[in-house]
Amino acid sequence: MTDLSKITCIEDLRQMARRRVPRMFYDYADSGSWTESTYRANESDFQKMLLRQRVAVNMEGRSTATTMIGQAVTMPVALAPTGLTGMQHADGEIAAARAARKFGVPFTLSTMSICSIEDVAQHAGPGFWFQLYVMRDRDFIERLIERAKAAGCGALVITLDLQIMGQRHKDIKNGLSTPPKPTLSNLINLATKPRWCLGMLGTSRRKFGNIHGHVKGVTDMSNLGAWTADQFDPRLSWSDVEWIKKRWGGKIIIKGIMEPEDARLAVDSGADALVVSNHGGRQLDGAPSTITALPAIVDAVGSQIEVHLDSGIRSGQDVLKAWALGARGTYIGRAFLYGLGAAGEAGVTRALQIIHKELDVTMAFSGHTRLETVDKTIFRPGTYPLA
């Protein structure tokens, strides 16, 4: 059994996950669209931002605690909604929700999860949020909203940047499906992942739990796949957000904002927060990284709505940099998926521990003991993006 105390960074977890997770599901998590230029920029643009080290500053009594949409969190980090999480590791959404609850950060369940809302609700804490894709079948969406209410979800995260699917070359080449189709190539690859296979044999959760059994006419996975591909609604508009907001009645987070004008529309919608997000570089390739898009959005709306950020967060330093530029929350997707694929719930916990440690230490070296005092002055001038 792997000694996770020897795992010192998210990259260590990524390498473990690559060895343990079947190729099609690892590639699903660790890839972008088209040339993957935006996917790469999301990470590399963080590295271009240089920090100022301060010395002879009292570093005792540090705290990374804050709030996200009014909820107390151990650090300004939530687990992002990620599809097919239960294919990285058996019952993956449940494992991740447990880790998040114990660590004191929110967990966001994707519409396209393997474990259902009801499955996860039994294991999640007060920071259980649900991410909603807007689909053509509005009756199904209404039922999904009601199920999220019944499960006690504290916020609804509406994703606006998946009206159509980005061109994800690795998924196409791998013939992504759940469960994997029994092709010769897949069977050969699965034979090299005995730990994953044993886990999957021990669970019945191998389909889209929020959809399977909840949609009329969907009786098998082939029908479900066709339904899903046809259901993302290209006609999505802000009037749909208003329709959802009225039916939900609780806190709303708008995800997928990359431009100030859309941020202002998110404010007009009455949302509680927006997420600066390019879907992890999985939709529009050639778009800017989220960290370079953040300052202009904060400048446009930061005092009117809580601004969060995802895409590219791989360390606690990234979290601190996003905070310094005005993000009051961040989301990790791949970082926790690597931990999940590497070692299940314990791996997610290790990912959170690593990010928290890096955030705490970097904050201290920058001369701060509380996030509230951290701003752009932690950066060397000329190395960080301006609005």
Q: Burial-class residue 107 by CB neighbours within 10 Å (0-12, 13-18, 19+).
A: buried
DSSP string, 119-165: HHHTT--S-EEEEEE-BS-HHHHHHHHHHHHHTT-SEEEEE-S-SS-
Measured CA to CA, the distance from residue 290 to residue 318 in angstroms comes to: 12
Instruction: Classify the C-alpha dihedral 173-174-177-181 as positive or negative.
Output: positive
Structure tokens at 34: 């088209």
Measured CA to CA, the distance from residue 335 to residue 355 in angstroms comes to: 9
DSSP state of 63: B
Nearest to 307 by CA among 286, 296, 238: 296
Residues β-bridged to residue 155:
129, 251
8 A C-beta contact, residue 23 and residue 174: yes
Nearest to 81 by CA among 334, 257, 293: 334
Q: Note if 279 is an active site residue.
A: yes
Structure tokens at 258: 């990359």
Give the pairing type, strands 66-68 and 128-133: unpaired
Nearest to 306 by CA among 273, 329, 282: 273
Peptide bond into 76 cis (omega under 30): no
Angle ∠(194,33,206) on CA atoms, nearest 5: 35
3-state class (DSSP) for residue 216: coil
Catalytic residue among 89, 123, 279, 308: 279
Q: How far is CA 201 from CA 97, 186, 206, 277, 348, in A?
A: 21, 16, 10, 35, 21
> Which sequence positions are flagged as catalytic?
279
